[in-house]
Structure 1
Amino acid sequence: MRILMTGAAGQVGTLLRPRLARPGRLLRLSDLAPVSPGPGEESVSADLADPAAMATAMKGVDAVIHLGGQSREHPWADIVRANLDGTQVLLQAALAEGVRQVVLVGSHHAAGFHSRPASGDLPATAFPRPDTLYGVSKVAMEALGSLYHDRFGMNVVTVRLGTCNPGSVDTRGLATWISPDDCARLLEAALTATGHHVVWGVSANTRRWWSLEEGRAIGYEPQDDSEAHAGPLIAEYGEPDPADPVHRRVGGMFCLRPLGEAW
């Protein structure tokens, strides 16, 4: 099985590559930045928004994990080319190659202005409320995934990814964190899911308030909990205040930052 991973040189791609390695599986790593393939990997340099380059990158592929694009707030023109044009070109290349399984790694910033519910968890299907221009691009990604499922029958899972790093680095992350191991578990589930799904990318955190129901519906069973990192963070920063926008909004501090300024 050959899986195309776009954005393979980025932080999340770098964390996931060894965790997605399997006998009989070949990861084709795609990025504009240099990436050195290891065992069970091959690499290709491709601009997401270049149809010819993406058609070449897609040759012989069985599934796609789409991590590529502009990963932070930037001027609108940069975001449009990388994230909107890039996702559409990628999906069209997948369609032309007959690829049926696509995982779009989006962002919780597509729903950043949603607030913590008074009770229960916020569904992964909560209506988009982007917090940045970057978040708007991830809403468009979700819409493109829906279109290519409904019109062409692709199996598409879009992940509203939380904070993926080896350990929570701040008290907000105690709610939003997804461990690299859990992220790999989620992508493995997404690679075999049928239909169209939007799921939160989050671990089974004690302080989590994003729903795991939609992820579990496709076979995702998180094993990690950010509470293992809570002690030192609470000692340094204090207990999170649920009324503080940083902890009340899905997008946290990104709901407060100037629009369109690079970060």
Structure 2
Amino acid sequence: MAAAPSQGLPAEKTVLLTGAAGGVGTLMRALLPPYGYRLRPFDVVPLPGEPDAITADLNDREALREAVRGADAILHLAGISLESTFEKILRANIEGTYHLYEAAREEGVRRIVFASSNHAIGYTPWPAAGTPRVPVATPHRPDTFYGLSKCFGEDLAQLYWDKHGIETVSVRIGSCFPEPGNVRMLSVWLSPADAARLFHAALTAEEVGHTIVYGSSANTRGVWDLSAGEALGYTPLDDSESFAAKLIAEQGELDTNRPDQAHLGGAFVTDPPIWPY
């Protein structure tokens, strides 16, 4: 996989990868280095076989600042990725993200790519067939405390751009798995390879300020406007349609009369999956 020349970062690029032991983080540890990145993995969970990995919590401010020091950019994937209690979400996703931005400010890191989520707008009704794709300017309508934390992260990113000049690309990730697992994901699937392409574009594009983009592949059934990401240089190459026949045969077509399929957040609106820890 050839990497396009970097514009936003120097030729030898050190990227702090928070949440490196998570699902998307594990995928990116394999897919991003071919683009020329030297990853510095960071997670509360130890990473055997990763000699440069840092094991610490985002709320350990001294360890976090040391981890940030000398990085050219940060890819922030850490945090709780499902619904949980407000107290747990507050500590991991809200306070943890604040501490990360403070460490970046203190250490002079000027580019962050923030893993936001479609659940920041999860209560937005599923668009009717034939209507325009959902724009990034759609107002926040979080479907869970998890989605609420992503709204906070986007707004925090805007504040740190306006107040401190730290640039962020907030990526509203859909469903980033090797393949979609249900009919809703046919619209919001982000293949791992396209995720790497999108993160690379977000890390290297010039003058992003605070830019919000949707994170999905070039899905035939896509519902999000991907033009903001394309403006950064993102060209998605994958399409969930190759999985459609099997999923539809098993589950039927998407039915927006069903409560769990009536909104962009899907089942997060009706019966959100709960963080097990």
Q: CA deviation at 1:243?
A: 3.3
Match of 1:154 in 2: 166
Note if 1:58 corresponds to 2:72: no
Distance (whole Å) between structure 1 residues aligned to residue 274 and residue 34 of structure 2: 40
| Residues 171-186 of structure 1 aligned to structure 2 (within 5 Å) | 171-186=183-198
Distance (whole Å) between structure 2 residues aligned to residue 197 and residue 23 of structure 1: 22
Q: How many residues align?
A: 260
Note if 1:116 corresponds to 2:148: no
Amino acid at match of 2:270: L
Residues 94-115 of structure 1, C-alpha deviations (whole Å, 9 max, x = no match) = 1111111100001111110011
Distance (whole Å) between structure 2 residues aligned to residue 97 and residue 91 of structure 1: 10
Distance (whole Å) between structure 2 residues aligned to residue 226 and residue 147 of structure 1: 35
Q: CA deviation at 1:46?
A: 1.8
Indicate if the aligned counterparts of 1:26 and 1:42 stay in contact, CA closer than 8 A. Answer: no
Match of 1:144 in 2: 156
Distance (whole Å) between structure 2 residues aligned to residue 76 and residue 122 of structure 1: 28
Indicate if the aligned counterparts of 1:125 and 1:199 stay in contact, CA closer than 8 A. Answer: no
Distance (whole Å) between structure 2 residues aligned to residue 149 and residue 51 of structure 1: 21
3-state SS of paired residue (1:158): strand
3-state SS of paired residue (2:248): helix
Match of 1:126 in 2: 138
Q: Which runs of 4+ in 1 moved over 4 A?
A: 260-263
Note if 1:169 corresponds to 2:181: yes
Amino acid at match of 1:140: F
Match of 1:94 in 2: 104
Residues 125-155 of structure 1, C-alpha deviations (whole Å, 9 max, x = no match) = 2110000011111100001111111111111
Label 1:261 to 1:7 Cα distance change in 2 as closer, same or farther (>3 A). Answer: closer
CA RMSD of aligned residues (A): 1.7
Distance (whole Å) between structure 2 residues aligned to residue 214 and residue 243 of structure 1: 30
Q: CA deviation at 1:205?
A: 0.5
Indicate if the aligned counterparts of 2:256 and 2:263 stay in contact, CA closer than 8 A. Answer: no
Q: CA deviation at 1:37?
A: 4.5
Residues 69-124 of structure 1, C-alpha deviations (whole Å, 9 max, x = no match) = 11111111111011111001001101111111100001111110011234110012
Indicate if the aligned counterparts of 1:115 and 1:250 stay in contact, CA closer than 8 A. Answer: yes
Q: CA deviation at 1:13?
A: 0.5
Match of 1:242 in 2: 256
- Relative to the length of structure 1, the TM-score reads 0.94
| Residues 1-263 of structure 1 aligned to structure 2 (within 5 Å) | 1-22=13-34, 25-38=37-50, 42-118=52-128, 119-193=131-205, 194=207, 195-257=209-271, 262=275
Indicate if the aligned counterparts of 1:29 and 1:37 stay in contact, CA closer than 8 A. Answer: no
Label 1:231 to 1:27 Cα distance change in 2 as closer, same or farther (>3 A). Answer: same
Distance (whole Å) between structure 1 residues aligned to residue 82 and residue 199 of structure 2: 22
Distance (whole Å) between structure 2 residues aligned to residue 262 and residue 98 of structure 1: 33
3-state SS of paired residue (2:204): coil
Distance (whole Å) between structure 1 residues aligned to residue 219 and residue 113 of structure 2: 23
**Gapped runs of 5+ residues in structure 2?**
1-12
Distance (whole Å) between structure 2 residues aligned to residue 237 and residue 257 of structure 1: 18
Distance (whole Å) between structure 2 residues aligned to residue 125 and residue 215 of structure 1: 13
Distance (whole Å) between structure 2 residues aligned to residue 28 and residue 261 of structure 1: 29
Label 1:221 to 1:261 Cα distance change in 2 as closer, same or farther (>3 A). Answer: closer
> What is the identity percentage for the equivalent residue pairs of Structure 1 and Structure 2?
46
- Relative to the length of structure 2, the TM-score reads 0.90
